[in-house]
């Protein structure tokens, strides 16, 4: 599973990364986390607000910080 965190590295981006890492740990799945900080690359996803979470190429959240439970549910859908 490939998970991308889109954002410039602000505190909200770091919180989303922590929540994602917690969700992966709880779910016990193999996942690669990639941080995308380049604004041009972020724009390719059609995201207007960061932080954003992308799981296997699909934008799951933008402009907010979902909790580990919500992220874990998305991982179960894949």
pLDDT category at 78 given cuts 50, 70, 90 is low
Q: What is the number of alpha carbons within 13 Å of residue 7 lying toward its C-beta?
A: 22
Catalytic residue among 3, 13, 52, 55, which?
A: 13
**Is position 10 annotated as part of the catalytic site?**
yes
- Could you give the domains of the chain? 2-77 (3.40.30.10)
Catalytic residue among 1, 10, 33, 78, which?
A: 10
User: How much is the pLDDT for 76?
Assistant: 85
Tokens standing for 52?
């954003």
pLDDT category at 41 given cuts 50, 70, 90 is very high
Rounded to two decimals, the pTM is 0.93
């Amino acid at each position: 599973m490939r998970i991308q965190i889109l954002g410039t590295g602000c505190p909200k981006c770091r919180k989303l990364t922590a929540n994602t890492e917690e969700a992966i740990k709880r779910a016990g799945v193999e996942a690669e986390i990639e941080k995308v900080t380049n604004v041009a690359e972020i724009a390719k996803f059609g995201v207007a607000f960061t932080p954003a979470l992308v799981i296997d190429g699909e934008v799951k959240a933008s402009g907010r910080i979902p909790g580990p439970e919500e992220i874990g549910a998305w991982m179960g859908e894949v």
